[in-house]
């Protein structure tokens, strides 16, 4: 019964979000209609390749996480999407791959140490503190590290401190590895040919 209820809640939530989006934006961009967007979509352009990679990669990693029963697979999805979101489009994602892993390990370890050194009353403030620090970060590595605080604050209540920290690091490694492989395959099988075709026009 609970599974059926959850299955109903997801489309219902999407419906509410869609209704709000339409209500707030229905009077904007009146000159641009859906068929204009579809007609203008061209995979020989870097912008549309980037959009395709983001949409397809994000969908596949979340599907894989759910199918294989990965705990907290949304963390895996966030890591993968962050890797693929680098713009402008590039066939190489190695830089962000390592930065995301290093940032996740550093942020998780910092949370682990602070959690043990601070009193219980301070623990609920660690998430907002991480968000505040995130606002001052300009480097991707530091953003990744600070981003761990809010997630781990919630995860600690479910999995315990040790479990949440290990899970955060593991999901990050899985997510960016999936993203690295997916980006490489897509680039060599699809993007190289399309970009070469665009250059030959």
Kindly state the DSSP code that residue 9 receives in the 8-state scheme: H
Higher pLDDT, 60 or 92: 60
Residue 6 CA to residue 157 CA, distance in Å, equals: 21
pTM of the predicted structure, to 2 decimals: 0.79
Ramachandran region, residue 18 (left: φ > 0; alpha: ψ -120 to 50; beta: rest):
alpha
- Establish how many alpha carbons lie within 13 A of residue 24's alpha carbon, considering only the half-sphere containing its beta carbon: 6
First-residue to last-residue Cα distance in the chain: 58
Q: What is the DSSP string of 63-89?
A: HHHHHTT-TTHHHHHHHHHHHHT-SS-
Closest by CA to 97, choosing from 166, 15, 163, 172, is: 172
Which value, in Å, is the radius of gyration of the alpha carbons in the chain? 20
Q: Which residue has the tokens 């604050």?
A: 153
pLDDT bucket at 103, cuts 50 / 70 / 90: very high
Q: Is residue 41 within 8 Å of residue 48, measured between CB atoms?
A: yes
| Six-digit token string for 189 | 């099988």
pLDDT at 4 over 50: no
Q: Is residue 177 within 8 Å of residue 77, measured between CB atoms?
A: no
pLDDT in tens, 167-188: 999 999 999 999 999 999 988 8
pLDDT in tens, 48-67: 888 889 999 999 999 999 99
């Amino acid at each position: 019964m609970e599974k059926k209820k959850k299955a109903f809640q997801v489309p219902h939530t999407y419906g509410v979000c869609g209704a709000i989006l339409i209500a707030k934006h229905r009077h904007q961009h009146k000159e641009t209609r859906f068929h204009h967007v579809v007609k203008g979509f061209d995979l020989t352009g870097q912008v549309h390749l980037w959009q395709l990679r983001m949409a397809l990669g994000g969908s596949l990693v979340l599907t894989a996480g759910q199918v294989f029963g990965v705990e907290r697979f949304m963390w895996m999805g966030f890591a993968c999407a962050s890797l693929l979101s680098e713009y402008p489009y590039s066939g190489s994602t190695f830089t962000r791959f390592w930065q995301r892993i290093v940032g996740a390990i550093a942020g998780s370890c910092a949370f682990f140490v602070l959690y043990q050194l601070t009193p219980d009353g301070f623990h609920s403030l660690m998430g907002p503190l991480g968000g505040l620090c995130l606002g001052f970060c300009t480097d991707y590595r530091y953003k990744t590290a600070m981003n761990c605080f809010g997630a781990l604050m919630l995860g600690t209540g479910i999995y315990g401190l040790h479990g949440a920290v290990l899970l955060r690091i593991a999901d990050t490694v899985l997510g960016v590895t999936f993203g690295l492989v997916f980006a490489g395959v897509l680039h060599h099988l699809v993007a190289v040919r399309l970009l070469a075709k665009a250059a030959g026009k």
